[in-house]
């Protein structure tokens, strides 16, 4: 399978993403690894789900008091990795990070299942607990608190947008002779460069 050399990395991502979403063997096409580093420079990586993307960047949501939230508020740079194994493809994205607007966060939060909304209130994400009962107790407390009506978005829960400065497309090749095409932000446009595998 050959990697087409499109002028724009977002066109390339859109083409691959559409193909991935139509591939039955890929059960979660939105899964991506997010890598951050805190002020101490120590890197951390975890899997999250892509919730939106366009030419402005790639969006995911989290508790801003979580490890990744604190990392990104202190050091607003991140790397993303999509790995779609059945198609032998990966996409790497590196760039600065910005917070989504309150309107964007409210709209996405409002689209979530009610139990997920309550979970956002109940989870003290990344902080210690003595056992599973701590979480279950908090879920019950917030379920009672928001027994009827709309569940509001917590102030500490919102989204981040990774604004790409570098995007690399990798297509698996036989005998590890992979294809690698990198796009680098250059003013208002992009430059392209093929890389050795």
Query: Which helix (H) or strand (E) is 119 found in, with range?
Result: helix 114-122
Task: Output the CA–CA distances (angstroms, integers) from residue 66 to 69, 144, 156, 158, 196, in the order listed.
Answer: 5, 24, 9, 11, 37
CB count within 10 Å of CB 67 equals 16
Residue 153 designated active-site: no
Assigned token pair, 162: 């990774």
Which candidate in 112, 176, 180, 192 is catalytic?
176
C-alpha angle 50/46/134, rounded to 5°?
Answer: 100
Q: Which residues of 3-22 are buried (b: 16+ CB within 10 A; e: fewer)?
A: beebeebbebbeebbeebee
Nearest to 120 by CA among 145, 96, 83, 88: 145
Give the contacts of 54 (CB within 8 A, at least 6 positions apart). Answer: 10
- Which residue numbers are catalytic? 176
């Amino acid at each position: 399978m050959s990697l087409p050399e499109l002028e724009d990395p977002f066109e390339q991502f859109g083409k691959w993403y559409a193909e991935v979403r139509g591939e039955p063997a890929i059960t979660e096409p939105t899964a991506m690894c997010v890598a951050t580093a805190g002020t101490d420079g120590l890197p951390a990586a975890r899997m999250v789900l892509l919730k939106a993307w366009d030419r402005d960047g790639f969006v995911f949501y989290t508790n801003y008091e979580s490890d990744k939230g604190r990392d990104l508020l202190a050091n607003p740079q991140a790397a993303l990795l999509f790995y779609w194994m059945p198609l032998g493809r990966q996409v790497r994205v590196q760039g600065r990070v910005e917070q989504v607007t309150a309107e964007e966060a409210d709209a996405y939060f409002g689209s979530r299942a009610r139990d997920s909304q309550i979970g956002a209130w109940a989870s003290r994400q990344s902080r210690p607990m003595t056992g599973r009962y701590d979480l279950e107790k908090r879920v019950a407390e917030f379920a009672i608190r928001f027994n009827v009506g709309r569940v509001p978005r917590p102030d500490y829960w919102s989204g981040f947008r990774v604004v790409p400065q570098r995007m690399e497309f990798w297509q698996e090749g036989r005998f590890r002779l992979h294809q690698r095409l990198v796009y680098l932000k250059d003013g208002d446009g992009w430059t392209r460069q093929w890389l050795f595998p």
